[in-house]
Amino acid sequence: MDGMHDHGMGDMGMGMDMGMDDMMHMTFFWGKNAEVLFKGWPGHSSGMYALSLIVVFVLAIIVEWLSHCQLIKADTNHVSAGLLKTVMHALRVGVSLVLMLAVMSFNVGVFLAALVGHTVGFLLFGSGIFKKSDTIPHKVSDLPPMSC
């Protein structure tokens, strides 16, 4: 085997002939040529890369909204409230996992879009900056904080 094609794996018959464009990055990198969530997406298009960053940004805001929203009224039946909390929890976990998979593309732009999305989402929904100071909230949110 010549040194250019030897990736330290030998010829194991496992279809390891990947070109440089097909290799998955395992370190942070800059650039629009990334795969985010789906094979071939966003591809080499700057517009599609920008769309992927917007999607990641919006997903992060949705996670923050779900973490801080107050949809359940105080007089709601406890069974209905429990079912709604369960659905909201499933959505928050699902969106968080999709967001984590997007960040695992190791693209710096995707990472920054997620970080800024979480920051903006917390500013809007968690910081209390847009709530009147004279109102005393009876609860912080419908769902408990996420934990690692």
Instruction: State pLDDT tens for residues 95-114.
Output: 999 999 999 888 999 999 99
Task: Kindly state the average pLDDT of the residues 46-61.
Answer: 94
**Whole-angstrom Cα distance, residue 42 to residue 32?**
8
Give the DSSP letter of residue 107: B
Distance CA 103, CA 100 (A): 5
Distance of CA 129 to the CA centre of its chain: 24
pLDDT confidence of residue 4: 46
Residue 105 CA to residue 37 CA, distance in Å, equals: 8
Mean per-residue pLDDT of the chain = 80
For residue 120, give both structure tokens.
């903006």
Residue 59 has pLDDT above 70, yes or no: yes
pTM of the predicted model as reported, rounded to 2 decimal places: 0.74
